[in-house]
Amino acid sequence: MTLYQGFKVFGDSIAGCAVTIKLCETKITFEADDRAKSCFPFANTDFEIAFQIDDLVSVGLVEDAIQITGFHTETQDSGQIKYKILEDLRIQSEEHNLKTVEELHSDLTRMMPKRTDALPMLIIANPKSGQQKALKICHDMLLPRLDEGAIPFELMVTERQNHAKDYIASCQDLHKKYKAIVIVSGDGLLHEVVQGLCQEGQPIEYQSLALGIVPGGSGNGLARSLAHYNNESYEDKGLMASVVRVLNGATRPMDLTRVTSSDGKTYYSFLSVGWGFFADTDIGSECLRFMVQ
């Protein structure tokens, strides 16, 4: 563990608190000095805040200070994890010792997650999904974080049904053009993308493309299921947790269900399969989407 002392931290609600900074292999801890405990905003009995290295989005050197963007995790009474973003966390040397600042910046940069971002992410947003907030979520929450993390991306805004599926079907060597596909929408657009990736004739390599979802629909079944699986809070519909997963690029395998109907058509499902009364009810309730809060 490496210790740095003689630093002050500034943020949205931090007025230059003196801290000791502890650098471990997997996390960074800011511990308030005794003289600063009265102004330190992170209300726990130890007056410290720690966040995992994998939750760092960017570390930059701005003049004589270090600026960190990252996510701090809080554990609720229920044991669930709640993600909160830390924007513009600014660290300065109390004695304006630029050499010490540069040493700390070098250590933080070395600890940052190593991302191989030669290929961009394909971000697909459906402006009509749910309460039509997906595009706002995309521009307000996801894209700024990708920019701060210097993660390349291309944005595609769908204009019609099957727009994403048709694009995937017509795009050659998709797995060589993008490192991942991230959906900002509900389960419907993700279903469309999965059909495009798995349809007959597509290269098997397409199925190795990482898929991510930032919930922007009505039900957001997969995002809700992932939050439950990861023991995360769903207070904000899993938005912050989903953004964290996209930025970190951590993946895990997920099974699909293949269904072939009596007319020979093949469909792929990542969440559930419904037919008969259930399917009729789902289709017949499309006109009631405006009622979802």
Last residue of a domain, one of 111, 129, 146: 111
CATH number at residue 22: 2.30.29.30
pLDDT tens for the 293 residues of the chain, in order: 899 988 988 876 566 778 889 999 888 888 887 655 555 444 443 457 777 787 777 788 888 899 887 766 666 566 565 555 555 678 999 888 899 999 999 999 888 776 656 789 999 999 988 778 899 999 998 998 888 777 899 999 999 999 999 998 888 888 889 999 999 998 999 999 999 988 877 887 887 789 999 998 888 888 888 877 777 767 777 787 788 778 777 788 888 889 998 898 888 988 888 777 777 887 787 777 666 55
Are 161 and 84 found together in one domain?
no
C-alpha–C-alpha distance, residues 118 and 185, integer Å = 25
293 within domain boundaries = no
Looking at the DSSP bridge assignments, the partners of residue 20 are 31
Helix, strand, coil percent content, the chain, rounded in steps of 5: 35, 30, 35
Assign 259 to helix, strand or coil: strand
Are 191 and 255 found together in one domain?
yes
Specify the residue for token string 């699986």: 229
CA dihedral 66, 58, 18, 97 (to 10 degrees): -20
Cα 55 to Cα 30, 33, 59, 60, 95, distances in angstroms? 15, 24, 11, 15, 29
Are 15 and 100 found together in one domain?
yes
Last residue of a domain, one of 44, 78, 111: 111
Tell me the residue length of the chain: 293
Annotation marks residue 77 as catalytic: no
Question: In what helix (H) or strand (E) does residue 66 lie, and over which residues does it extend?
Answer: strand 65-75
179 within domain boundaries = yes
Q: Do 244 and 69 meet the contact criterion of CB atoms below 8 Å apart?
A: no
State which residues form the domain around 252: 121-273
Assign 72 to helix, strand or coil: strand
Are 107 and 226 found together in one domain?
no
Assign 237 to helix, strand or coil: coil
246 within domain boundaries = yes
Confidence (pLDDT) at 180: 93
93 within domain boundaries = yes
Of the candidates 33, 187, 263, 282, the residue annotated as catalytic is 187
Are 164 and 215 found together in one domain?
yes
Q: Do 210 and 115 meet the contact criterion of CB atoms below 8 Å apart?
A: no
Last residue of a domain, one of 86, 111, 136: 111
Q: How many domains does the chain have?
A: 2
Are 93 and 234 found together in one domain?
no
Label residue 22 exposed, middle or buried (CB < 10 Å: 0-12, 13-18, 19+).
middle
C-alpha–C-alpha distance, residues 153 and 196, integer Å = 20
Q: Which string of DSSP letters, residue by residue, matches 128-164?
A: TSTTT-HHHHIIIIIHHHHHHTT--EEEEE--STTHH
291 within domain boundaries = no
Radius of gyration of the chain (CA): 22
Neighbours of 101 (CB within 10 A): 20
284 within domain boundaries = no
Are 72 and 165 found together in one domain?
no
Q: Do 106 and 118 meet the contact criterion of CB atoms below 8 Å apart?
A: no
Q: Do 155 and 125 meet the contact criterion of CB atoms below 8 Å apart?
A: yes
Are 257 and 178 found together in one domain?
yes
